[in-house]
Amino acid sequence: MNPASSTVAVAPTARADFAVIGLIGLAHGTSHFFHLLLPPLFPAFIREFGLSYSELGLLVTVFFVISGTGQALSGFLVDRVGARPVLLAALTCFAAAALAAAGARGYGGLMAAAALAGLGNAPFHPSDFTVLNKRVSAPRLGHAFSVHGISGNLGWAAAPVYFVGMSELSGSWRTACVGAALLALGVLMLLALNGRAIDDRRGEWAHERGEAGGAVHDEHPMAFLRLPSVWLCFSFFFWTTAALSAIQSFAGPALARMYTLPLSATAFVVTGYMLCGAAGMFVGGFVTTRVAQLERTIGLAMAASAALLLLVASGVLPPLLAGAAVAVAGFGAGLAGPSRDMLIKRAAPPGATGRVYGTVYSGLDVGFATAAPVFGWLMDHGWENAVFAASAAALAMGVVSAVLVAWRVRAAIGPVIA
């Protein structure tokens, strides 16, 4: 029996919508916070364990290989058992990862922490988007995607400030990791106490029907893999995440070397990038309701971000302006986010949201896993400007993927008025 046909239809109120959006936003922000469980502490690991940037990049690779593999598989699990229990299990893994990092005595301990964090991260996107698509009413769905993206960027923005700040205040990076474990447990308790609001089994797919053109309800569960738009969305995430990986993990030390900025200042550049991205996502939530051709928004926003990163790569900017340019580039990437998620929704067959988002968002993990050691290698060889130039090129490839996705969707369902 199709899960979509067996659920109970619920007419959501504005208050119910906002409760779902807030809880899922908090969970998503927590998952992004744990993306950066280890990278802000890289300088401490170099001092204490004598590791190279290539070795540290491998930790990021392990995180995202496990997350990406698990994300594609967890989409099927979410469609089968529901999103709520999967989300709670994921938050438990985050707490375990932070405790493993706090007790690490070498590279092996850090590798275990990366693996546990990757396992926890795996189910978030299929779980989040399944709940949002089933429990949020259609008029507020674009804003739900916007808040979802904003919360993720806020999680990314908070992590470097928290880990660096708490390490300095307490005198130990291990204390910062213990605090992160307590954060995960707190969010876990909040979601468990409000489990009824995020119970996707009480939702319905009515507002998704008719948008996927040729979507099948009775075909094999793997049938969605035949849709070219799914793999084009995957490639979009791969390229854009490769660019993001460079900013998150290596923009700080790269700016420090190129422009002689102190590391304490460059940590705030990464945070600024995420905050500007959050602002862009806020604006992008309104754009999705007013612009029919979503790929235009994505293309213009990401092209502007790429141009700023190329300026930074050139080395011609004054130091503070270079840091500001990296931060502002986050606005364009953020502005494209809600349009991207709406484009994926249009490409997804009804009732297969978990599987589609799990597969598509695994491109994010593959991008991180592939890019991290490459950018680490560039840093080890003193090619800091190439970090920013390659990021700009990856954003340009993402624009190409987004345009191709939009063409495929329009060919399947005709023009869509946002």
**pTM to 2 decimals?**
0.69
Residue 117 has pLDDT above 50, yes or no: yes
Can you tell me the distance from the alpha carbon of 78 to that of 358, in angstroms, rounded to the nearest whole number?
Answer: 9
For residue 289, CA distances in Å to 128, 246, 408 come to 21, 31, 20
Can you tell me the distance from the alpha carbon of 34 to that of 121, in angstroms, rounded to the nearest whole number?
Answer: 8
In sequence order, which residues have a C-beta less than 8 Å from that of residue 300 and are 6 or more positions away? Answer: none
Predicted pLDDT of residue 193: 93
Q: By the 8 A CB rule, do 82 and 201 touch?
A: yes
Predicted pLDDT of residue 410: 61
Q: What tens digit of pLDDT does each residue of 314-370 get?
A: 888 888 888 889 889 988 888 877 777 776 766 666 666 667 777 777 777 788 778
Q: Which long-range contacts (CB under 8 A, 24 or more apart) does 69-72 make?
A: 69/122, 69/362, 69/365, 70/118, 70/119, 70/121, 70/122, 70/123, 71/121, 71/122, 71/123, 71/124, 71/125, 71/126, 71/358, 71/359, 71/361, 71/362, 71/364, 71/365, 72/358, 72/359, 72/362
Residue 287 has pLDDT above 80, yes or no: no
Predicted pLDDT of residue 76: 80
Q: Quick one: pLDDT band at residue 121, thresholds 50, 70, 90?
A: very high
The encoded tokens of residue 410 equal 């329009």
Domains of the chain: 14-205+215-413 (1.20.1250.20)
Name residue 13's amino acid: T
Name residue 185's amino acid: L
Can you tell me the distance from the alpha carbon of 219 to that of 337, in angstroms, rounded to the nearest whole number?
Answer: 31
Q: By the 8 A CB rule, do 131 and 145 touch?
A: no
